[in-house]
Structure 1
Amino acid sequence: MSAATPSTNPSPSIVVTGDRTVGPLHLGHYAGSLQTRLALQETHNPFILLADTQALSDHQGDYRKVRQAVIDVALDYLAVGIDPQKSTILIQSMVPELAELSFYLMNLVSVARLERNPTLKSELRAKGANSEISAGFLSYPVSQAADITALRGTLIPVGEDQLPMIEQTNEIVRRFNRMVGEPILNECEALLSNTTRLPGLDGKGKMSRALGNHLALSASADEITQAVNKMYTDAQHLTITSPGQIEGNVVFAFLDAFDPDTQHVAALKAQYAHGGLADSVIKARLNDVLQALITPIRERRAEYAQDTDAVLSMLLCGSAKARQTAALTLHKVKTAMGMYYF
């Protein structure tokens, strides 16, 4: 399936995107953002953040997991085809200007407004009512706003569930610019992929590591087959001859997202809805599609994993490049705020 195409803009758009480094990426990431990033790197030079400081709230007290996740996500980026010659991949904590700008922007948003953010509310529910929520987690929409604005982002590839974060970023930008009386920070627009929400393997909500209903981009051939075999189809489709439901059928949702032969998928849907097509047939088709997609990704990932020092060196170079842009933005912000005293 083709990735989303950015709208025509008279001035070059600056793309900023990224992931919290909480573990290896999965098919939901691929459908929701990675395909779009692959397309954008051919026309732009995107900034792609490994958001390790934000991930600290997910791994409180175990920073080794965050460090390993930085490497894992970087390996996934390279394995799917993110090219460090075309995309600037950076580690969030290696650009300290992001943290400083985040601190200034925190003063422009209330705790109540953060708690109303639908994306944050959803993640809080996923963590459970009895979880001890850190201040860092609560303020991560502000951190995300700082990442975007420090790197001058104007076009932000996101999943549908992240749209409230873009709205909040623009609220903060407008408030800051009004406060200083000049347009120091840029507003941005969201770019949705064609597959805005990939369901989990169990059909319950979106694919998520936290829910355990995901399929990693590094999955083995056996893991792919096992995942497909367990996928939810239609509980009422009891015999081959009975009509089956397309809506809510996880197998067809995955075929829509990943099968390049859209005409064949349409034919399968028509036959399934009419009756006369077994679940095993559509699952076999999906298994073939996912094996063809994931196998080369898994193999390239294994090659890159043999030299993690080279991967970290690449991340160091990307972080240094991004820091030049962030430092210039921070200088403009502090100048406008009168934060230079000598």
Structure 2
Amino acid sequence: MRPTGQLHLGHYHGVLKNWVTLQEAYDCYFFVADWHALTTHYDDPSVIPNSIWDMVIDWLAAGVDSDSATLFVQSLVPEHAELHLLLSMITPLGWLERVPSYKDQQEKLKEKDLATYGFLGYPLLQSADILIYRAAQVPVGEDQVAHVELTREVARRFNHIYGRGANYEEEAEAARKKMGKKAAKQYAQLRKAYQEQGDAEALLKGQELLGAQQNISMEERERLLGYLEGSGRVILAEPQPLLTKASKMPGLDGQKMSKSYANTISLRETPEQVENKLKRMPTDTNRVRRTDPGDPQKCPVWQFHEVYSDLKTREWVQAGCTSAGIGCLECKAPVIEAVLDELKPIQARAAELEAQPEQVKRIIEAGSEKARAVARETMREVREAMSLQILG
């Protein structure tokens, strides 16, 4: 997540609640993408430092658990930048220019000069962010699937170019023999069946066989996977998109909640500020007078009811609005109460963390060091594959 300002309810419903669920089922890495923030805020980065700490506090307050997931700051793991640089040596320019969000963002942010190498290359930095941890899955909405597909193409190209070293077959055979006599023989048969006869079932069985092996290292397993498929060693794993539901959180004007539209409710706004914003929300323009009937489908407040209200309350709104039986302020009252109830525990936890800056600092330092240990290992193999491991 890019640290470019305060987090709001759109972030909470669209991302953070999903992260809290994912951390219970997966080994998750969540990071503050401060280098990515520079792609659009390079001319005024002053908002970034405070946003980093506020963002981490909001994550923790929303339920992200540093004991269950790895939380870190991107720039504290410089290996991201090194992998980005090395991947830029092999990535065709056309791949970056065709990323859908490239021209889309330039159009939306016309007031900024985005004719920079950093902005063009940010999808490749995203790829480095993913590949350096050999992520199996990346939680994204449908609009971000293209970025994951670019990452897969980059990984595939890297493995094709660098996955077959001078002694590739000898090393693969040596790894095969470590599997034990029976398993090694079975692997050879399955490899032959797949490569000579195109037996797809043999490929699946071979992959399962390797997955069950305890006598070989991860590097040897990846080499044998590539050898099985007739390709090179898998140095950078191809991730899959893990599709997440699109956020239903509307903004105060009915559009998507976004800082760009100035229609947000921040996670740490005071109850008075939240109440005033919701009371001033626009409603169905046909309800000029209290006695005029309205149409909830044309009212931004109804979208909040769809997020926060139960069936009984929504039926009360439908009946009251269409018959002019309730006024707009009456309609907003359950929403105001629900939003305040949702924010209360988050704000209480945030206040505790704000009072313990050293604890937040320790969480970031520990997470960044843990992430860096994984990143270093990936970079060791990448450098070795690209003949850059000069000092061994």
TM-score, reference length from structure 2:
0.74
Tell me how far apart the structure 2 counterparts of residues 107 and 199 of structure 1 sit (CA, whole Å): 41
Q: Is the 8 A contact 2:10 2:247 kept in 1?
A: no
CA positional deviation for 1:45: 3.1
1:134 to 94, 111, 116: 116
The Cα of 1:105 is off from its aligned counterpart by: 1.8
Equivalents in 1 of 2:87, 2:328: separation in Å?
52
Unaligned residue ranges in structure 1 (runs of 5+): 1-18
Give the drift of 1:142.
1.0
* 2-structure distance, mates of 1:61, 1:303: 34
Give the direction of change, closer, same or farther, for the CA distance of 1:176–1:279 in structure 2 (3 Å limit).
Answer: farther
Q: Which of 235, 248, 269 matches 1:184?
A: 235
How big is each residue's C-alpha offset from its partner over 1:262-306, in whole Å with a ceiling of 9 and x where there is no partner? 323542464367544543333211111110011221221122111
Work out the CA distance in 1 between the residues paired with 2:43 and 2:117: 14
1:206-250 deviation digits (Å, cap 9, x = unpaired): 22223322211111112211221233443234565635142x643
After superposition, the Cα gap between the structure-2 partners of 1:211 and 1:131, relative to the gap in structure 1 and judged at 3 Å, is: farther
**Is 156-165 or 212-221 further displaced after alignment?**
156-165
> 1:12: which partner in 2?
none
Map Cα deviations across residues 111-131 of structure 1 (whole Å, 9 max, x no partner): 443233223333222321663
TM-superposed CA distance for 1:197, in Å, is 5.2
Deviations 1:142-180 (A, max 9, x none): 111111111122222234433332232222222223333
How far apart, CA to CA, are the structure 2 residues paired with 1:190 and 1:269? 38
Q: Secondary structure at the match of 1:156?
A: strand
Determine whether 1:66 maps to 2:48. yes
Q: 2:144 aligns with which of 158, 162, 182?
A: 162
User: Under a length normalisation based on structure 1, what TM-score does the superposition of the two structures give?
Assistant: 0.84
> Counterpart in 1 of 2:27?
45
Q: Secondary structure at the match of 1:303?
A: helix
Distance 1:220 1:69 in 2: 18
Paired AA for residue 146 in structure 1: A
CA distance in 2, matches of 1:273, 1:118: 41
Q: Which residue of 2 aligns with 1:75?
A: 57
Whole-angstrom CA distance in 1 between matches of 2:18 and 2:140? 9
* 1:223-262 equivalence runs, <5 A: 223-238=273-288, 242-246=293-297, 249-257=299-307, 259=308, 261-262=309-310
* 2:18 aligned with 1:36: yes
Q: Percent identity?
A: 32
Measured on the aligned residues, the alpha-carbon RMSD in Å equals 2.5
- Which stretch of the first structure deviates more once superposed, 138-147 or 206-215? 206-215
Output the amino acid matched with 1:264: K
8 Å Cα contact 1:91-1:319 kept in structure 2: yes
Show the 5 A alignment for 1:3-18: none
Give distance in 1, aligned partners of 2:387 and 2:318.
65
Match of 1:221 among 258, 271, 277: 271
Q: Which of the residues 76, 84, 89 maps onto 1:102?
A: 84
Residues 1:191 and 1:234: Cα distance change in structure 2 (over 3 Å): farther
Greater C-alpha radius of gyration: 2
Q: d(CA) in 2 for partners of 1:188 and 1:233?
A: 44
